[in-house]
Amino acid sequence: MSARVLVVDDDAAVREALAQTLELADLQPLTAGSFVVAKDHIAADFDGVILSDIRMPGRDGFHLLAHARKVDEDLPVILLTGEGDIPMAVQAMRDGAFGFLEKPCAPRDLLTVLERALKTRALVLENRRLRDLVESGDPAARMLFGQSDAAEGLRARVRRVATLETEVLITGAPGTGISKVAEVIHLSSLRSKAPFVKRAAADLGPHDLAEALEAAAGGSLFLDEVSHLPAASQLTLLEGLEEGRPARLLAGSTRDLRAAVEEGALNGDLYYRLEVMPVRIPSLSERPEDIPVLFRHYVAQAAEQAGLVVPEVGPDQAAALMAQDWPGNARSLMSAAMRFVLGMPEDGFKTSALGLAEQMARVERSLLIAALGRQNGQASEAAKALKLPRKTFYDKLARHGIRAEDYRR
């Protein structure tokens, strides 16, 4: 949906002219001829901006500005002024107006101010959404970001798993946040007030493992890269699970554990015990629409840590981010966000130097991969989800060098 602009003017001809200008710029105008009509559109979650004349019969633009700021002090209001209204407009700016334009105004000047106001509004609403998630009592919503179906599916899975008492196997590509998901499962469970102990499996001999389990008594023990657990410790852990353990076990791995069993690196009985309740974290390549959301969140975090103003992430930059592969997943995206905040050159935005065709090809490739990931590598289902004929879908896979079987789990 295009960005919304509430146009308020008692002159029908002016309203119509402004609406046409906005439509030509791919904006969505909402029109009102008075304060009374306009106020029904003004709410704290209004995702657009207000463009209003100052002089109107009855309640004028100042009343509208005051009402808008009472509803939401961050809602941008741009005032249109007549030739003799400049002092009034200056006062309006002091009262909190986002800006003012003198009538008649050139379309270019109007659209420039509107673009700034819309970007400001989008940033305010996104920061509020992130703040609400952080303050939410739901750890999955507070800590696992994303608006894609894959992200919502992960949150739902985590909430479900948290209510159970079984062992959990958490898998994902490097950098997807396996330890964070383990922590969210713990915080979402009835064990949340007890300890959450995290250990690298490779460092745990049998005695160390026993100590870790005792330290996590009543809570959860997370073993990172469980296939690296020494063989003797694997037997100790398996015996403890069969006899009843003091802590709930959460195991993580970036490795294919079936292959680890076949290679003799992981005890088969331990693997079958763990895989009863698997949680798989999707890679960023499977949910490219989440990349700008995550990046803005990491930018806000990095700016706070560095004591700097949060820089704006524009549409071109968001598109460039989505076109990248991000093999390091969230970890590499966090590093990119820190460099962005510090004003350092960022390879993640290099697509801005590419032509439109190549940028679109990169985005198309990421969407094809995302669809295959969501459909467990089933090409026919992925084609259906993207509303593409099967032949067209297979042609696109071939053009981008994508193999559907690589995304089967």
My answer on whether 122 and 32 are in the same domain is yes
My answer on whether 143 and 120 are in the same domain is no
My answer on whether 154 and 193 are in the same domain is yes
Q: Is 254 helix (H, G, I), strand (E, B) or coil?
A: coil
The H or E element spanning position 86 is helix 86-94
pTM of the model: 0.60
- The beta strands (E) that lie in 85-219 are given as 99-102, 168-171, 196-200
> What string of pLDDT tens digits covers the 409 residues of the chain?
468 999 999 989 999 999 999 999 889 999 999 999 998 889 888 889 999 998 888 888 888 999 999 999 999 999 988 766 667 767 777 888 898 888 888 899 999 999 889 888 887 887 676 566 556 567 787 778 888 888 999 999 999 999 998 999 999 999 999 999 999 999 899 998 889 999 999 989 999 999 999 999 999 999 999 999 999 999 999 988 888 778 999 999 999 999 999 999 999 999 999 998 999 999 998 888 889 889 988 998 888 888 888 888 876 677 778 877 788 899 999 988 988 888 875 655 554 455 666 667 767 877 787 788 778 788 898 899 888 888 898 988 888 888 888 777 6
- Give the pLDDT score at 263: 93
- Give the pLDDT score at 61: 86
Identify the domain containing residue 295 by its residue range: 284-407
Final residue of a structural domain among 116, 133, 150: 133
> Cβ distance 46 to 109 under 8 Å?
no
My answer on whether 104 and 154 are in the same domain is no
- Give the pLDDT score at 137: 64
Residues 6+ apart with CB under 8 A from 246: 213, 214, 216, 217, 218
- Give the pLDDT score at 55: 85
The H or E element spanning position 304 is helix 291-306
My answer on whether 339 and 289 are in the same domain is yes
The CATH number assigned to the domain holding 52 equals 3.40.50.2300
- Give the pLDDT score at 351: 47
My answer on whether 177 and 245 are in the same domain is yes
My answer on whether 331 and 312 are in the same domain is yes
My answer on whether 145 and 272 are in the same domain is yes
- Give the pLDDT score at 83: 65
Final residue of a structural domain among 133, 168, 191: 133
The CATH number assigned to the domain holding 273 equals 3.40.50.300
My answer on whether 206 and 156 are in the same domain is yes
The CATH number assigned to the domain holding 386 equals 1.10.8.60
Give the 3-state DSSP-derived string for 11-27, with helices as H, strands as E and coil as C: CHHHHHHHHHHHHHCCC
My answer on whether 320 and 372 are in the same domain is yes
Nearest to 116 by CA among 82, 86, 78: 78
My answer on whether 21 and 117 are in the same domain is yes
Domain count across the chain: 3
Residue 375 CA: distances (Å) to CA of 218, 260, 275, 366, 405: 37, 25, 20, 14, 11
Nearest to 322 by CA among 259, 263, 374, 364: 364
- Give the pLDDT score at 87: 76
- Give the pLDDT score at 352: 47
Look up residue 237 and give its two tokens. Answer: 């852990």
DSSP state of 51: E
- Determine the residue type at 133: L
- Give the pLDDT score at 135: 60
Final residue of a structural domain among 107, 133, 159: 133
> Cβ distance 198 to 222 under 8 Å?
yes
Maximum Cα–Cα distance for the chain, whole Å?
A: 87
**Cα(233)–Cα(238) distance, rounded to whole angstroms?**
8
My answer on whether 207 and 107 are in the same domain is no
